[in-house]
Amino acid sequence: MKAGELVSITLNSTEFKDISGFQLTMEFDGLSYSGVESKSIDMAEYNVGQIKSDIITMSWTYSIMKTTATEELFIINLIAEESGYLSDMIKISDSIISTEIYQGAEYAIKGIELGVRSDRVLTEEIQLMQNDPNPFKDKTTIAFSLPTQSMITLSILDVTGKVLRVIEGEYEAGNNSITLFSNELGTSGLLYYTLKTEGFSETKKMILIN
C-alpha cells in the first residue's frame, strides 16, 4: 500500500459455519478507519465502535443470512497514512473488548485469528509475521504464509543463541499459525524465532514478560 490510498479489505473465512455472532478489537498501524460494507453478512456502522482513528471494535449477531465457507463476509475500508504491507499494519487484539466468535445453538466461544492473503504471498513468497501479542506473558501466536504445502521448522532461541524449543511439521499452502506458551520456554526477556523451510530462513524478535 502507498500513503494516501483508500484500502478496501475483504474479509473471508473458511470456517464461518453455524456462527451466531462475534466481537473483536481491530488495531491499525499506519492506517485509519473509513467505513464498512456488507457482503454475505449484514455489516453497518452501528456494528462498529471507532475508539480512535486507528482502533475499532466490531460486534455482530446473527440475522437473516445465507453464507457458505467460500463467500466474502464483509469489507472494511481504510486510508493508508503510511506506505507498507498490510500484514504489518493490521491486527486483532483484546485491548478494548475480547475477540471471540460464537458458534451453534449453545453459543460455544471460539477464538478468531486474522491472516492476510494476497496473490503475492500465495504464489511467490513465504511470509513470516510478527508474533501477536508482543510483548506477551502467557501465550503468543506466530503466523506465516506458504505458497505451497511445505515442511517447516520453527526454532525459538534466547539472546545467547540457545535453542529453547523446536517445532517441525508439514503445513498447508496459505495462512498458518503456531501458538507458543510461556511455560514451554523456561525463560523470559528478549527471544528470537526463526522459520526455516527449503530455500527460506527468516528471524524475528519477540519479548516474553514475567
The predicted-structure confidence for 31-87, as pLDDT tens digits, reads as follows 999 999 998 888 999 999 999 889 999 999 986 555 554 578 999 999 999 888 787
Question: Which of 144, 140, 146, 180 has the alpha carbon at shortest distance from 164?
Answer: 180
CATH number of the domain bearing residue 204? 2.60.40.1930
Domain end among 82, 110, 138: 110
Do 105 and 177 belong together in one domain?
Answer: no
Do 10 and 104 belong together in one domain?
Answer: yes
Question: Which of 4, 58, 2, 1 has the alpha carbon at shortest distance from 26?
Answer: 58
Residue 1, in any domain of the structure: no
Do 42 and 97 belong together in one domain?
Answer: yes
Do 27 and 103 belong together in one domain?
Answer: yes
Q: Which domain holds residue 42?
A: 6-110
Supply the pTM of this predicted model: 0.55
Could you give the CA distance from residue 152 to residue 104 in angstroms, rounded to a whole number? 34
Cell digits for 108?
A: 460455544
Residue 39, in any domain of the structure: yes
pLDDT (tens digit per residue) in 6-34: 888 988 887 788 888 999 999 999 999 99
Do 105 and 127 belong together in one domain?
Answer: no
Residue 194, in any domain of the structure: yes
Residue 90, class by beta-carbon neighbours within 10 Å (0-12 exposed, 13-18 middle, 19+ buried)?
Answer: buried
Do 100 and 10 belong together in one domain?
Answer: yes
- Give the residue carrying C-alpha cell 516474553: 208
Residue 148, in any domain of the structure: yes
- 111-118 CB contacts, 8 Å cutoff, 24+ apart: 112/22, 112/24, 113/141, 113/143, 113/177, 114/26, 114/90, 115/143, 115/145, 115/174, 115/175, 115/177, 116/86, 116/87, 116/90, 116/145, 116/175, 117/145, 117/174, 117/175, 118/86
Do 96 and 33 belong together in one domain?
Answer: yes
Domain end among 63, 78, 110: 110
